[in-house]
Amino acid sequence: MVLSTQQANAEYAYTSAKAMCVMEAGSKRVLYNKNENQELAMASTTKIMTAITAIENCVDLDKVFEISPKAVGISGTSLYLRKGEKFCLRDLLYGLMLISGNDASVAIGEYVGGNTKNFVQMMNDMAKKIGANNTHFDNTHGLDSDNHYTTAYDLALITSYAMQNYTFKEIVSTQNKKIVNSDGKTRYLKNKNKLLTGLEGCCGVKTGFTNDAGRCLVTSCERDGMTIVCVVLNCGPMFEESKELIERTFSEYHLIDLTSGYAFNDVINVTEGRQQKVKIGTYGKYLYPLKTEELSKVSYVYDIDEIIEAPVDKGSEVGEVKIFIDNDLHFSEKIYTMESVRRNSIFDKIKKLIEMW
């Protein structure tokens, strides 16, 4: 069980971005930051929340529905939807995330939420659930609004959450997609995220631009079992600087299974049992990103019974192990017996006495 959200101090890294956050997606550890908690406009990176809210609140992504007049003619980037046109939600999600269709975002919100106002409230509710407490959505697309903002840290949290969803991850990692409406008209979509082809392990996520927000980019990248989320807000060279930050991260940090460092005896003594010892162990795994020089800050505390009395059932709790990093408690789990031990019967005791005699 992860018992602490305490993080080692994040390191400042230069970027021309107004705000930046590089986070390891599993542990949520912030590795590099700059103004990570400053509330800023986020343009179309909003659609990360639009997409995951829709995916998690729709039973059938392939059900076809009709586009309403309210979703037609939305300003900004567009899928050029027409009134009465019919699409399934899955195809509109591709239009949303690959070419950033603002009209697709409204159509999605209307279909899933009943209307966009209800859907935006669903987005805000999910933000609170995820822990993005300095975020507020005022629309589904990210066009500038005084009441529409996030932080680099919150957006990294939201993205780390969304990337756990297979459908979301599949959509945002797609480079090219053909979608067809119910009348057979085809649209060809090409992902605007240049890093999908220009960065090893890149698997998404979303670009964005408005006058207030500037150029924004959220990137997810996987290598050697470690997933990094990089957020830059209001950053001119967003592709170049995101790539530099991610390459630096993978060169300096490695995802370590800290449970592999356990150092306790794998057996304890048993009294009154048909065997004198029982095997013990744990089931958990705790992965955490660390630099090589940070490994010396990891310590373990064990509290284990020295002896137990039979009968012993497999899975009996016999102790606990705690993992500290720089004196902060990060992880704790129980230690259990890995086998059963039956109690000696009267015949076993008589036999033992005879053998001793």
3-state secondary structure of 313: coil
DSSP 250-307: HHH-EEEEGGGG--S-SEEEEESBSSSEEEEE-----EEEE-GGGGGGEEEEEEE-SE
- Choosing from 47, 169, 206, 243, the catalytic residue is 47
Q: Does 47 qualify as catalytic in the annotation?
A: yes
Q: Does 316 qualify as catalytic in the annotation?
A: no
- Choosing from 27, 44, 173, 242, the catalytic residue is 44
Q: Are strands 307-309 and 267-271 parallel, antiparallel or unpaired?
A: parallel
Residue 179, both tokens: 């979608």
Q: Are strands 186-190 and 202-210 parallel, antiparallel or unpaired?
A: unpaired
- Choosing from 27, 100, 160, 173, the catalytic residue is 100
Hey, which residues does 75 pair with through a beta bridge?
Answer: none
How far apart CA 152 and CA 157 sit, in angstroms, is 9
Q: Count Cα neighbours of 251 within 13 Å in the Cβ-side half-sphere.
A: 6
Tokens 């209800």, residue located: 118
Taking a C-beta distance cutoff of 8 angstroms, is the pair 191, 232 a contact? no
Closest CA to 78 of 52, 49, 62, 98: 98
Taking a C-beta distance cutoff of 8 angstroms, is the pair 290, 300 a contact? no
Q: Does 68 qualify as catalytic in the annotation?
A: no
* Residues that are catalytic: 44, 47, 100
